[in-house]
Amino acid sequence: MRNGCVRTFIGPGRAPGGPAASALLYIWAACGCSPAGATLASGMRAASSPSRPDRPRRSPVRRIIRSLAALAGALLLIAGIAVAAMIRPDIPVDELIPRYGAPPSQFMQLEGMRVHYRDEGKGPPLLLVHGTSSSLHTWDGWVRELAGRRRIVRVDLPGFGLTGPAPDRDYRVERYARFIGGFLDRLGIARADIAGNSLGGRVALTFTLAHPDRVRRLVLVDAAGLSGVPPPTIFRLARTPVVNSILRRATPRFLIRRNLEEVYGDDSRVTDALVDRYHAMVRRAGNRDALVDRLTGPEDPVLDDRLGDVDLPVLIEWGGDDPWIPVACAHRFQRGIGGSQLRIYPGAGHTPMEELPAPTARDADAFLGR
């Protein structure tokens, strides 16, 4: 590194000096990264210290250890600055409601929470259940396609969307299934068709197994719940000590965009509005803590051995390029659930109802009938 580089880093037109510059130059000199840095650092030490007799030269091992320690300190400093730059504060729910919770949104008190939901259209009821870190808005495309023929009911699950965290911090799938039952009771819906994506599919299937008399037909969209599926990277990070503490606060917008581009089969479908919505819902006060609580909580039971107990019509919809739950799982669901139908959408990812709302909604509508 040349003197010009040192001057550029410190700032053009400024003489090297001050505590910050001295510290940086000292680190460079100790690491042996810059002859110029070493000369400057040595000069500053000489100017700031009284003359003293020559000391024996340090051993190479001590010099290496000292260099490594200085490098480690510099890396920790850089890491700390990077994390601090990614920290985003919680957003109070009242600030989000005007944009994401205005009519036709409604709210009800249920299980100690102010639950966000929408109830639109007329006809046979269809309940839509979203996935992890998502919200009822993930089904907007289906509502546009189906609300003229069906009563479309959708809800933000506890820990997600505008509903926010549960007071008891219980985010097990069994709890979500009980929540769905209580929610339908409050709306006076005794029996409905249900569709769920990802975690929502797992919840819908669990509810169906527990209350088969309350479900007429079931649609599983890239559903979770089978064994042998490695969790996505972001889920593994959320289960890692220290890292999950960072994730409770550090969720920059670019990370949300990158996650959506990973989940979508076609990156061009990831719009700024979509990123803004997901980013806002993640930062809804309490939701990041709830996500970590869910992912570090008890493991939900897998459903492989329960598929044969499903005794009603089931449609399985799947993105052909799902990177989180591979399409092989769609075939496992089909083999396990007798008489089930399968539709695969080439080029779509983990949320095909968002990427391809028209064809996925049409196929669901044809399957559900009247």
Q: Is 198 a catalytic residue?
A: yes
User: How many Cβ atoms sit within 10 Å of the Cβ of residue 59?
Assistant: 9
Of the candidates 319, 315, 314, the one whose C-alpha atom is nearest the C-alpha of residue 356 is 319
Q: Is 350 a catalytic residue?
A: yes
Q: Within 13 A of 158's CA, how many CA atoms are on the CB side? A: 26
Angstrom CA distances, 155 to 87, 117, 169, 178, 244, stand at 29, 4, 18, 14, 27
Of the candidates 154, 161, 132, 109, the one whose C-alpha atom is nearest the C-alpha of residue 287 is 161
Cα gap 186→184, rounded to integer Å: 5
User: How many Cβ atoms sit within 10 Å of the Cβ of residue 181?
Assistant: 14
CA dihedral sign, ordered 341, 343, 349, 353: negative
Cα gap 143→360, rounded to integer Å: 12
Of how many residues is the chain composed?
370
User: How many Cβ atoms sit within 10 Å of the Cβ of residue 322?
Assistant: 23
Choice among 116, 130, 279, 350 that is catalytic:
350
Choice among 289, 321, 322, 340 that is catalytic:
322
Choice among 130, 198, 222, 279 that is catalytic:
198
What value, to the nearest 5°, has the Cα angle with vertex 288 and ends 169 and 156?
70
- Active centre residues (catalytic): 198, 322, 350
